[in-house]
Amino acid sequence: MALERTFSIIKPDATRRNLTGKVNTLLEAGGLRIVAQKRIHMSRAQAEAFYGVHKERPFFKSLCDFMTSGPVVVQVLEGENAIARNREIMGATNPANAAEGTIRKTLAESIEANSVHGSDSAENAAIEIAYFFAGTELVG
Ligand code: IDP
Ligand code: MG
Note if 117 is an active site residue: yes
The share of the chain scoring above pLDDT 90, in percent, equals 99
7 has which bridge partners? Answer: 76
| Closest ligand to Cα 69 | 1
d(CA 88, CA 82): 10
d(CA 137, CA 6): 14
The CB of 120 under 6 Å from ligand 1? The reply is yes
Mean pLDDT of 110-124: 98
Residue 99 has φ and ψ, to the nearest 5°, of: -70, 155
User: Which one from 117, 118, 119, 128 is the annotated catalytic residue?
Assistant: 117
The CB of 111 under 6 Å from ligand 1? The reply is yes
Q: Which helix (H) or strand (E) holds 72?
A: strand 72-80
Asked if the model's pLDDT at residue 85 lies above 90, the reply is yes
Q: Which position has the higher pLDDT, 1 or 74?
A: 74
Q: What is the pLDDT of residue 35?
A: 98
Phi-psi region of 41 (alpha: psi -120 to 50; beta: other; left: phi over 0): beta
Which band of pLDDT confidence, cut at 50, 70 and 90, is reported for residue 119? very high
